[in-house]
Amino acid sequence: MTTNPRHYRYYDLLMAAFVTVLLCSNLIGPGKVCEIGLPFTVPGLGTLLIFGAGNIFFPLSYIFGDVLTEVYGYARARKVIWAGFGAIIFATIMSQVIIRLPPSASEPFNAVLQPAIEVAFGGTWRIVVASIVAFWIGDFVNAYIMARMKLWTAGRYLWTRTIGSTVLGQGVDSLVFYPIAFYGIWNTDTLFAVLLFNFAFKVGVEVVMTPLTYLVIGWLKQAENEDYYDRDTDFTPFSLED
């Protein structure tokens, strides 16, 4: 196994951006369910698209994952995934601590604020577990496929890697998240209809963002003087080595 000890100018900034997007998708996004009326009927969904606002944020984390893996390699992307995983765990624990701290009776606004905090940041244990597990598995699948496909394609056809890794990563993410979070709560038809729509939405974001992804990756490779190939990488997810 080889290591990649170089220091990069923009790697830390990308890590911070990745974690920020991830926290937004898990803390801000779930607080609101959106509904969009359509001028046509979608089989299984009717004329309304109903989705969690977190879906606006979450696809961006996969784009960051693609950029990190393509430029810096799987091991560096692995470290970022673990940073995001730790941030989600910490934010979840602290949310529960804040919710359970006794509000001051001398502050009348707490009578309104406490229920709002519980609704916005409480969540159910199933949704919390589903979100954490799905993120961890899905992002590692995305990074692994991205790195492997780079070797298979000899660095060519970037679009096949960004889209292909997202299809598999988001597919695994959706197949893990929705059954854990909602099986037995939603009827089966609704569960799979929402699963398929959200999967298609996330992959669609990746496709639409492909030209921008090309520009960012091209600029970073030149700025960092790096285009890493994972020829001798240990692909275990359970490591923080570069």
Stated pTM of the model: 0.90
* Number of neighbouring beta carbons within 10 Å of residue 25: 23
**Alpha-carbon distance 95 to 120, whole Å?**
10
Is the pLDDT at 2 greater than 60? The verdict is no
Q: Which residues contact 55 (CB under 8 A, 6 or more apart)?
A: 25, 29, 198, 201, 202
Is the pLDDT at 218 greater than 90? The verdict is yes
User: What is the number of domains present in the chain?
Assistant: 1
Q: Which domain holds residue 155?
A: 11-224
Give the per-residue pLDDT at 201: 84
Give the per-residue pLDDT at 4: 58
Q: Are 35 and 74 in contact (CB under 8 A)?
A: no
Does a structural domain hold residue 46? Answer: yes
Does a structural domain hold residue 59? Answer: yes
Q: Are 122 and 99 in contact (CB under 8 A)?
A: yes
Give the per-residue pLDDT at 56: 77
Q: Are 54 and 28 in contact (CB under 8 A)?
A: yes
Does a structural domain hold residue 235? Answer: no
Does a structural domain hold residue 242? Answer: no
Does a structural domain hold residue 237? Answer: no
Q: Give pLDDT tens digits for 76-119.
A: 999 999 999 999 999 999 999 999 999 998 988 888 999 988 87
Does a structural domain hold residue 238? Answer: no
- Tokens representing 169 are 């990563």
Does a structural domain hold residue 233? Answer: no
Residue 201, CA distances (Å) to 3, 36, 188 in order: 36, 13, 20
Does a structural domain hold residue 3? Answer: no
The band of 73, judged by pLDDT with boundaries at 50, 70 and 90, is very high
State percent of the chain over pLDDT 90.
57
172 vs 200, more confident: 172
